[in-house]
Structure 1
Amino acid sequence: MSRPWAMPVGIAVVAALVVALLGGTITDLGPWYEALHKPAFTPPRPVFPIAWTVIFALAATAGVNAWRAARDVRTSDTVIGLFALNGFLNILWSLLFFRVQRPDWAFFELVALWCSIAVLILYCLRISRLAAALLLPYLAWVSVAGMLNWQVVQLNGPF
């Protein structure tokens, strides 16, 4: 299906920026976070914003690619819905971990976030191999985040 490129690109950029800004605003690296015992494999602090910037750029590109490759409105609407759910889950993790200060709850929510990325990859694979491939670093990063989150729970619990 031939579609103009400006609308999906604009929507994807705004959506990625909103998720990134909300998640960043919620993230509080203050005294509570600093006092947590973290695993030895925790990446240095500067790695996180770089990784998330790359992941959000790749995810936005994947969303545009999948939306444009969709053969019908139902498929494109499903792509948008899956990305919207994923964005919500991404923000919710930051809220639970940093604001509510419940890494244990955040870990279980992260399982849902990981599953939403896996579903996105599988759904996008049906319409665009490129879109699915662009989401693989996101899945890898959230897998690492899951290991970090679980270790924070183990090293600091109960909460």
Structure 2
Amino acid sequence: MSKSKQVVGLVAWLIVSFIAAAIGATASVNAGPFYLQLQRPTWAPPANVFGPVWTILYTLMAIAAWLIWRVDGLRGARLALTLFFLQLAVNAIWSWLFFAWHLGAISFADILLLWTLIVVTLIMFWRIKPLAGALLIPYLLWVSFATVLNYAMWQLNPQVLG
């Protein structure tokens, strides 16, 4: 694969990942004020932590997908990359469920599905190229934390998050 094709591929994977981020961010326009009005556990991070963390995670996800694409192409890694796209979609919908529509139980179910999809994607990526799987570990750790935070905030705010 030529250098220029690899660069174009990397840019394409970054665009795909950040489109998913933008879809979620659209729902999160008022997330800061909403987050601050919720009862939060003492261990909840400040609102300004989420943006930088997610920027790093989406970048790592894009690089991981690009590495898989470089090894087997879209056809050769069809299942692994389909799972990657699916987890991106489930990730994007979470912000809508929690921040825009205030659906605590459904957002919790969504994040549990997301966690499962990340684990399966990570394993599949690892089998194809261990570095690609390793790049998803921070994402899995953050979503693990976010899952517990989602549950805690849902339980602490039944009047707002149902």
Counterpart of 1:113 in structure 2 is 114
- Normalising by structure 2, report the TM-score: 0.89
Note the alpha carbon deviations across 1:14-48, whole angstroms, 9 max, x for none.
11110111111111326543321111111112211
Counterpart of 1:59 in structure 2 is 61
- Contact preservation (8 Å) 2:35, 2:47: no
Is 1:153 aligned with 2:154?
A: yes
Of 45, 48, 54, the match for 1:46? 48
Note the alpha carbon deviations across 1:48-70, whole angstroms, 9 max, x for none.
11110110111000000111122
- Contact preservation (8 Å) 1:67, 1:79: no
Q: CA–CA distance in 1 between the matches of 2:74 and 2:104?
A: 39
- Normalising by structure 1, report the TM-score: 0.91
Percent same amino acid among aligned pairs? Answer: 34
Of 35, 38, 48, the match for 2:37? 35
Counterpart of 1:68 in structure 2 is 70
Q: CA–CA distance in 2 between the matches of 1:29 and 1:39?
A: 17
Instruction: List alignment gaps of at least 5 residues for structure 2.
Output: none
Instruction: List alignment gaps of at least 5 residues for structure 1.
Output: none
Counterpart of 1:131 in structure 2 is 132
> Which structure is higher in helix share?
2
Q: CA–CA distance in 1 between the matches of 2:69 and 2:80?
A: 6
Residues matched between the structures, number = 157
Aligned AA for 1:150?
Answer: Y
Q: CA–CA distance in 1 between the matches of 2:52 and 2:122?
A: 22
Change (3 A) 1:30 1:142: closer
Q: CA–CA distance in 1 between the matches of 2:25 and 2:137?
A: 22
Aligned AA for 1:117?
Answer: I
Aligned AA for 2:158?
Answer: G
Aligned AA for 1:20?
Answer: A
